[in-house]
Structure 1
Amino acid sequence: MSQIVPLGKIATLLAMLGDKERSPFESMFGEVTFCQGKVGSMNMQKVISAVETAVKRNQLIKEDVYRETHALYHAILEALEGVTRGQLAIGEMMRTVGLRFAVVRGKPYDQEKEGEWIAVAFYGTIGAPVKGLEHEALGLGVNHI
């Protein structure tokens, strides 16, 4: 039976924890690569672009390999569905988000033929564009590359 490296768990922890808070968990990260960032917006495309930009700057995907960009895009959308409760809209519904995100890439299975996977996690707030009226939200997307 294969040992699973919990990419989604790692991404969720990284999205939720600040730099100082994450040090006790770093031993579980193993041989994954990751990046983190923050985004706040009423525009869904800005949220997607912030994640894509961070991933490309940190060279987690190869920009010239379509399947890698495609896998990232689907993981982002899946994670956003969690944040938006299945309604992929923010500004159009008079909602705003303030999110921390993490993207983790790795080989979660012992068998090499299972390949690489990518996980995207968001943690933060969503709500009316009035300070103090938002609530916590969490989303996770995992996709094979």
Structure 2
Amino acid sequence: MFESLSIGKVAMLLSMSSDSDEELIRNKAEAQGYKVFKGFVGAMDSSKIFASIETAAKREKFIKNIYREEHSLYHAVLEAYEGVCRGQIGLGNVLRTAGLVFTIVKGSRLPGDVKDGSWIAVVLYGNMGAPVKGYEHEVIGLGIYPV
């Protein structure tokens, strides 16, 4: 089923996977040389989403505490965030809330393509809507940036 996985496909599949599929995707991705992480964040404030992902990326050693790597992660998160917000950046200030799974994947864009250098992919997947239960809808965003 998952013969060859690109960095973006790994990030998207992992973000939407059930517990039983997650192990299969994670094992295949790691066998192909990718480093992967899956976390969760819920917020009405975009800065909390960005901070949660950056904290996880540093804690799990996806990036070092140097500007170039932090900048790469920021742009990958920003691209993914623009996707879930459909180009309308903003949550709490327009009374929207988000409950999201986030995945971080680091490695080459294609399995084994080390000549191209290291890249980082971030996916945000979950629900967004008015801060009233039942008024939300599914969203997904993907950002990929060189590290």
TM-score, normalized by the shorter chain, greater than 0.5: yes
Q: Percent identity?
A: 45
Give unpaired runs (5+ residues) of structure 2: none
Structure 1 runs (4+) deviating above 4 angstroms are none
| 1:5–1:108 Cα contact (<8 Å) kept | no
CA distance in 2, matches of 1:19, 1:52: 24
Equivalent residue, structure 2, for 1:21: 21
Task: Compute the displacement of 1:112 (Å).
Answer: 3.6
Secondary structure of 2:89's aligned partner? coil
The one of 51, 54, 61 equivalent to 2:53 is 51
Secondary structure of 1:126's aligned partner? strand
CA distance in 1, matches of 2:113, 2:20: 34
CA distance in 2, matches of 1:120, 1:8: 8
Give the root-mean-square deviation of aligned CA atoms: 1.6
Letter in 1 for 2:123: A
Task: Compute the displacement of 1:111 (Å).
Answer: 4.9
Residues 56-106 of structure 1: CA distance to partner in whole angstroms, max 9, x if unpaired? 11011111x211110000000000001000011011111000000000000
Secondary structure of 1:131's aligned partner? coil
Equivalent residue, structure 1, for 2:88: 87
Equivalent residue, structure 1, for 2:6: 6
Normalised by the size of structure 1, how large is the TM-score? Answer: 0.90
CA distance in 2, matches of 1:125, 1:111: 34
| 2:14–2:25 Cα contact (<8 Å) kept | no
| 1:5–1:107 Cα contact (<8 Å) kept | no
Task: Compute the displacement of 1:45 (Å).
Answer: 0.1
CA distance in 1, matches of 2:5, 2:117: 12
Aligned length: 141
Letter in 2 for 1:39: V
Task: Compute the displacement of 1:35 (Å).
Answer: 1.2
The one of 39, 42, 47 equivalent to 2:41 is 39
CA distance in 2, matches of 1:102, 1:26: 11
Secondary structure of 1:87's aligned partner? coil
Give unpaired runs (5+ residues) of structure 1: none
